[in-house]
Structure 1
Amino acid sequence: MTRERGERGSMAVEAVLLAPVMLIFLLFIVGAARIVEAKGEIDGAARDAARAASVQRDLGSAGTAAVQAVRGLDCNGGPTVNVDGRNWRQGGSVTVVVGCTVDLSAVSGFGFAPSISMSSTSVVPLEQFRRIQ
């Protein structure tokens, strides 16, 4: 195979030009994956908190149980938990909103903010085979 003299080293130049583009693309994928993972964790925490609240006998205990259920969630400043008990009656439901500020500082220089706030809401029916106080 013969090469013309003008093409010598062209592969090295292409590699040098494409390497930064590929690196930025890779970091973008890492940042997007972190956001998707965090959203899944927050959704799961909201579901767990609502379930924990729904088996309690009173609204005060429900709030405590919901906070305990999200204890392991990794958030800047800790997660926020709001328990809505307006429908706290036999056959009713409990609504829990979990908020979290996710740290994206590892990829913030590549189009991502240093942190992003997310929240998730979960509604669970109250247990029917217990007395509500």
Structure 2
Amino acid sequence: MRAVTSRPRPRGVRPATGAERGSLSAETVLLAPVFLLFLLFLVGAGRVVEAQGEVNGAARDAARAASVERTLSDAEAAADEAARAALSGECEPEVDLDGSSWQEGGRVRAEVTCSLDLEFLGFGVAKEVRGDSVVPLEQFRRVE
């Protein structure tokens, strides 16, 4: 059998005294909740960034869908349908379509607003996410 020998202690490191024993456990108990809160914050921030991208995409889809319609009322219905399809259950989008330039060669602007629920992370907060997009109307297309 071989005797178990301890490694030589590096220079300048003193042995732990009785008062310092178990300090690593105490530090872990104190720092673990802070670390978990930090991780929850990162997950929440990531969810907000992801939702912002989804809402921007829904606004783009809504503006494109509106731009191919001939009447403003059909454009509003198409924009609402496109935004709901793009977000598909993520939230209940509110679509605001600006048709003040609804004419040949004009433009249509769609703004989509969505309330993001962060309750599942324990924050108890809802964040409003907003995206908008502007699409030109064709120059030689007749609109009513």
CA RMSD of aligned residues (A): 1.6
Q: Which residue pairs with 1:131 in the alignment?
A: 142
Which 5+ residue runs of structure 2 have no aligned equivalent? Answer: 1-8, 10-14
Q: Which residue pairs with 1:4 in the alignment?
A: 17
Which 5+ residue runs of structure 1 have no aligned equivalent? Answer: none
The structure with more radius of gyration: 2
Q: Which residue pairs with 1:101 in the alignment?
A: 115
Give the TM-score normalised by structure 2: 0.81
1:5-60 deviations in Å (ceiling 9; x for gaps): 33221211111111011001111111111111111111111011001111111111
| Matching of residue 82 in structure 1 with residue 93 in structure 2 | no
What code does the residue aligned with 1:8 have?
Answer: R
1:80-111 deviations in Å (ceiling 9; x for gaps): 111111101111000111111111112343xx
Aligned counterpart in structure 1 of residue 66 of structure 2, from 11, 32, 53 = 53
The structure carrying a bigger helix percent of its residues is: 1
Query: Would you say the 8 A contact 2:105–2:140 is kept in 1?
Result: no
What code does the residue aligned with 1:98 have?
Answer: V
Number of residues of Structure 1 aligned to a counterpart in Structure 2: 128
Distance, in Å, in 2 between the alignment partners of 1:17 and 1:108 is: 20
Moved over 6 A (4+): none
Percent identical residues = 53
Distance, in Å, in 1 between the alignment partners of 2:40 and 2:66 is: 39
